[in-house]
C-alpha cells in the first residue's frame, strides 16, 4: 500500500470566508434590509463582522456542535451567521419561517437549539413559539439598535450590540471536516420533519460541484442574486459558492415581488439568479405587463419543482436569459442534476434544445443515480422506462438527525421518492413525486407532464393535476387551474389543448377553475391539500 504524499487539510467552511476576504476583499454584498434601506459592504467587512460574531457566540456560551437557529431572510447578517456559526464549529440551523409555529417549536426542540437569531419580520413567530422552546437561551433580533422593539414578550438581545461589543480578533479553529456544519429539516408532508445534518466536508464538496461550468458556472465576474431563501437548503449552496468564486452577492431580503426583484436585478447588474418557478412567475408577470427587459441577467437557475416549458421558452427566446433547470432535495445539500447542454445539442433548433432543458438534467460529478423497478432491478437508460430514482454521493444523507425515521437507505442508495426516466445521454427527467403519480387502469400518468401542457396555454397562470378516484380506472386525472388575471378559457378549450400532445387516455377527465392553489413552505404546490379538497369530486365520466 502506498499512500499519497499530499497535505491533509480539513475542508472547512471558514476557509471560504478567509479566501473571499483575501482574494476578493473589495467585492460587494448588497442587501435590501428589513430596516427598509439598501445596505452595502464588502467581503472584507463580512469577514470582520463574522469574526466579531464568532466571539459574541462564545460569550453567549455557544460551544462546538451547539445548534444555533435562524429565522431570517437573505441578507448580510444572515450571511455573517453562516460563517460565524459554522466557522466556529457550531451548527447553523436555518428554520423556514413559513412553517406553522407549532412545527417551528417542534423543530427547535428536536434540534435542541441554544440560540435563535431572527429578522424583526418574524417577531410575532418568536413571541408565539418562545414559551414552547425548551432549549433556547438567547433570542437575538437582527436589527439596528434604534429599531429594536420597545417592548416584547420575550427578552431580546440586539444583533448589532453583540457585534459592537466584541473584537474581530478571532482565529477560526481547525477541526475534523466531518463535523456537522449546518442543519435543515425537510418539509415533512407526512410524519415528523426530519433533519438533514450537513458536514463541513459535504458542504465544501457540494460547493465545488455547483460552481462548475456545467452546473451554475459561477465566477468572480458574476453578480449573484439568490431569490431562493437561505432557509431553503442553504439557498441551494449559493452563499458558499459566492465566497468560493468571489462573485458579488445581492440579497433581496423579504421583498420578493416582481417589481422589487426587477429593480435589484437592474440596479446591481445581476448576472445570475436562482429560485422556484412560482417566484419567476411573479417576476415575468411584472416584466411582461411593463414591457421591460433584463440588461445584465444572462442565466437563472430554476428548480424545487418542475420548470414549465413555457417558462423556459419565454426566458430564453424573449428575454435572452438562459434557464438552468436543476433538481435536488434537502437530503442532497441540495443539488443533484442540472440540465445543461452537450456539444451535440448546440446546433439543434431552439425547440429541440429546450426539450433537453425541460428534463431535470445530468448529475454533477459526485452524485451517482439510478432508476429501479418494483422488484428493485435497475431499469435501462432509454428515456422511456421510469422507476424509483435512487442516489448516492458525498453530499447525500446517510441517516437523519438523531436517527429519525430509521435507516433511510436501500442497499447504500438513498431513495428520493421521485419517479424518473434517464436517457442514453444521462439526462434524468422526473415524471412525478411517487405519491403524486396518477394510476389509471394499471398505467401511470405523469402529473408533471399534464401540468406542463396546461401551463403552456396562454390563459393559464398555474395548474396542478391530481388523481381522483374512479370506479373503473381506479384513478383519473383532474386538472385544477388558476387563470391569468382577465384571461378567459373554458373547460372544453383546455381539454382540446391536450389533444395530440399526450395519448388520449392520459388527457384529464375534467378541469376545475380555482382562485388559488395552496403552496407549501418552499413554494411547491401542496397536492396533498388539493387531493383532500377534491376527495369526493365526481368526475363527469362517473356521473
Establish whether 359 is a catalytic residue.
no
Compute the least distance from the CB of residue 29 to ligand AMP, in Å: 25
Among residues 80, 160, 177, 331, which one is catalytic? 331
Alpha carbon distance 443, 135 (integer Å):
50
Q: Please identify which residue in 418, 449, 451, 510 interacts with ligand AMP, judged by CB under 6 A.
A: 418
Compute the least distance from the CB of residue 347 to ligand AMP, in Å: 26
Alpha carbon distance 337, 429 (integer Å):
10
Establish whether 263 is a catalytic residue.
no
Q: Which is nearer to ligand AMP, 87 or 393 (CB)?
A: 393
Distance of CA 40 to the CA centre of its chain: 25
Q: Which is nearer to ligand AMP, 121 or 187 (CB)?
A: 187
**3-state secondary structure string across 33-86:** CCCCCEEEEEHHHHHHHHHHHHHHHHHCCCCCCCEEEEECCCCHHHHHHHHHHH
Compute the least distance from the CB of residue 107 to ligand AMP, in Å: 14
Within 287-346, the residues that bind ligand AMP by CB under 6 A are 303-306, 325-330, 334
Contact (Cβ atoms closer than 8 angstroms) between residue 278 and residue 308 = no
Establish whether 278 is a catalytic residue.
no
Distance of CA 192 to the CA centre of its chain: 20
Among residues 318, 342, 384, 439, which one is catalytic? 439
Q: Please identify which residue in 108, 235, 338, 430 interacts with ligand AMP, judged by CB under 6 A.
A: 430
Total residues contacting ligand AMP by CB under 6 A comes to: 21
Compute the least distance from the CB of residue 531 to ligand AMP, in Å: 16
Establish whether 186 is a catalytic residue.
yes
Q: Which is nearer to ligand AMP, 177 or 418 (CB)?
A: 418
Q: Does 216 bind ligand AMP (CB under 6 A)?
A: no
Within 218-277, the residues that bind ligand AMP by CB under 6 A are 233
Contact (Cβ atoms closer than 8 angstroms) between residue 242 and residue 269 = no
**3-state secondary structure string across 182-206:** EEEECCCCCCCCCEEEEEHHHHHHH
Q: Which is nearer to ligand AMP, 311 or 430 (CB)?
A: 430
Alpha carbon distance 164, 222 (integer Å):
32
* Largest separation between any pair of C-alpha atoms in the chain: 75
Phi, psi of 239, rounded to the nearest 5 degrees = -60, -25
The DSSP call for residue 463 is E
Alpha carbon distance 454, 463 (integer Å):
6
Alpha carbon distance 405, 371 (integer Å):
23
Stretch that binds ligand AMP, among 281-289, 346-354, 394-402, 415-423 (CB under 6 A): 415-423
Compute the least distance from the CB of residue 98 to ligand AMP, in Å: 12
Interface positions with ligand AMP (CB under 6 A): 186-187, 233, 303-306, 325-330, 334, 360, 416-418, 430, 433, 522
- List residues with catalytic annotation: 186, 331, 439, 444
Amino acid at each position: 500500500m502506498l499512500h499519497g504524499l499530499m497535505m491533509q487539510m480539513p475542508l472547512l467552511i471558514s476557509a471560504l470566508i478567509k479566501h473571499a476576504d483575501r482574494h476578493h476583499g473589495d467585492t460587494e454584498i448588497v442587501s435590501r434590509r428589513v430596516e427598509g434601506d439598501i445596505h452595502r459592504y464588502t467581503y472584507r467587512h463580512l469577514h470582520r463582522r463574522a469574526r466579531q460574531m464568532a466571539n459574541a457566540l462564545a460569550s453567549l456560551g455557544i460551544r462546538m456542535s451547539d445548534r444555533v437557529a435562524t429565522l431570517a431572510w437573505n441578507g448580510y447578517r444572515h450571511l455573517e451567521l453562516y460563517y460565524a456559526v459554522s466557522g466556529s464549529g457550531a451548527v447553523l440551523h436555518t428554520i423556514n419561517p413559513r412553517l406553522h409555529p407549532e412545527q417551528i417549536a417542534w423543530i427547535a426542540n428536536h434540534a435542541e437549539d441554544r440560540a435563535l437569531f431572527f429578522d424583526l419580520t418574524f417577531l410575532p413567530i418568536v413571541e408565539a413559539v418562545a414559551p414552547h422552546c425548551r432549549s433556547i437561551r438567547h433570542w437575538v433580533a437582527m436589527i439596528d439598535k434604534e429599531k429594536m422593539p420597545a417592548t416584547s414578550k420575550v427578552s431580546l438581545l440586539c444583533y448589532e450590540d453583540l457585534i459592537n461589543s466584541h473584537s474581530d480578533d478571532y482565529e477560526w479553529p481547525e477541526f475534523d471536516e466531518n463535523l456537522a456544519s449546518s442543519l435543515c429539516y425537510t418539509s415533512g408532508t407526512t410524519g415528523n420533519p426530519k433533519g438533514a445534518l450537513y458536514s463541513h466536508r459535504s458542504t465544501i464538496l457540494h460547493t465545488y460541484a455547483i460552481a462548475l461550468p456545467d452546473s451554475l458556472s459561477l465566477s468572480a465576474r458574476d453578480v449573484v442574486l439568490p431569490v431562493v431563501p437561505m432557509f431553503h437548503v442553504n439557498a441551494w449552496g449559493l452563499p458558499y459558492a459566492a465566497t468560493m468564486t468571489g462573485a458579488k452577492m445581492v440579497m433581496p431580503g423579504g421583498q420578493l415581488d416582481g417589481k422589487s426583484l426587477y429593480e435589484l436585478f437592474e440596479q446591481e447588474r445581476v448576472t445570475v439568479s436562482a429560485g422556484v418557478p412560482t417566484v419567476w412567475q411573479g417576476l415575468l408577470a411584472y416584466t411582461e405587463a411593463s414591457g421591460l427587459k433584463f440588461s445584465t441577467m444572462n442565466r437563472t437557475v430554476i428548480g424545487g419543482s418542475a420548470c414549465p416549458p413555457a417558462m423556459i421558452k419565454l426566458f430564453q427566446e424573449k428575454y435572452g436569459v438562459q434557464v438552468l433547470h436543476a433538481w435536488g432535495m434537502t437530503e442532497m445539500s441540495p443539488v443533484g442534476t442540472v440540465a445543461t447542454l452537450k456539444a451535440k445539442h448546440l446546433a439543434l433548433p431552439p425547440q429541440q434544445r429546450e426539450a433537453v432543458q425541460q428534463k431535470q438534467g445530468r448529475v454533477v460529478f459526485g452524485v451517482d443515480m439510478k432508476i429501479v423497478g418494483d422488484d428493485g432491478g435497475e431499469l435501462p437508460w432509454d428515456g422511456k422506462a421510469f422507476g424509483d430514482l435512487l442516489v448516492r454521493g458525498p453530499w447525500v444523507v446517510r441517516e437523519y438527525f438523531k436517527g429519525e425515521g430509521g435507516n433511510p437507505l436501500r442497499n447504500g442508495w438513498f431513495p428520493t421518492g421521485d419517479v424518473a426516466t434517464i436517457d442514453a445521454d444521462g439526462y434524468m427527467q422526473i415524471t412525478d413525486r411517487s405519491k403524486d403519480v396518477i394510476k389509471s387502469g394499471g398505467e401511470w400518468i405523469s402529473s408533471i407532464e399534464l401540468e406542463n401542457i396546461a401551463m403552456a396555454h396562454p390563459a393559464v397562470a398555474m395548474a396542478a393535476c391530481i388523481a381522483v378516484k374512479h370506479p373503473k380506472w381506479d384513478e383519473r386525472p383532474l386538472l385544477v387551474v388558476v387563470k391569468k388575471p382577465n384571461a378567459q378559457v373554458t373547460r372544453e378549450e383546455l381539454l382540446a389543448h391536450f389533444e395530440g400532445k399526450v395519448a388520449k387516455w392520459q388527457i384529464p377527465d375534467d378541469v376545475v377553475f380555482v382562485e388559488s392553489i395552496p403552496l407549501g413552505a418552499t413554494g411547491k404546490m401542496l397536492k396533498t391539500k388539493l387531493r383532500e379538497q377534491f376527495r369526493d369530486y365526481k368526475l363527469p365520466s362517473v356521473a
